[in-house]
Structure 1
Amino acid sequence: MSPAVGDKLPAQEFPVRRVDLVRYCGASGDFNPIHWNERFAKEVGLPDVIAHGMFTMATAVRVVTDWTGDPGAVVEYGVRFTRPVVVPDAEGAVISVSGEVRSVREDGLLEVSLTATVNGDTVMAKARAVVRWKDAA
């Protein structure tokens, strides 16, 4: 059975630690010190080390890919960042993500909105994924 408008995706929480950011630096090739060096991040006016925007975006869309069971089902995805994900050394951060089916298009594709927060503060706005549901032709 295909999802309907208003259906909620299972919410998830994703812990983020500094080591995750260092690994992402290696995977992405983005070694900007704001993502791993606390002293440098603070010198440039940030509260602490921050997660890469693309790391945050990729983490959030996992709610959709886990729900569909197929990362290839996401045919379009975009977000607007509202604030960085600050990752303190000792405790790290937790990105909380929820989603909802906002529309079912005539072509059978689903539009899903996502909400991502850290400590109750929104970190992404207008986050929207277009998804090809496995039962759609």
Structure 2
Amino acid sequence: MTEVQPREIKILETAEDIQQRREEVLGRYSAFKQAIADRRNKLEDSRRYQYFKRDADELESWILEKLQTASDESYKDPTNLQAKIQKHQAFEAEVAAHANAIVTLDNIGTEMIDQGHFASETIKERLDELHRLWELLLSN
């Protein structure tokens, strides 16, 4: 293991030495503040991406659940037709109510992409997949 040698303390004798040391300290402090700001921005981008990912996962699971319901073949049975019509109307209302969720998520994702987010490619792929599933749901 290497031993850490203490730095030699430089004695500042002249005003120029003091001014030079002051500038060094202020320069390091400025670089430190910039590194903190960069780190904060990266963490904020990461937080926004995690929220986007959470919302996208929830929407995808909801769409998949509704796709399963939409592909149900029980509608072909002519018995109890009135209940099936009501169930279908409720299903359509639920899909219409969730239509704004895809729009909101699309707006958030597009904004992140436009801002040059570090996960822009992943966000674009996720939005494309959600749009594909949404169109599939609407077509069923």
TM-score band, normalised by the shorter chain?
Answer: under 0.3
TM-score, with structure 1 as normaliser: 0.25
Select the structure of larger CA radius of gyration: 2
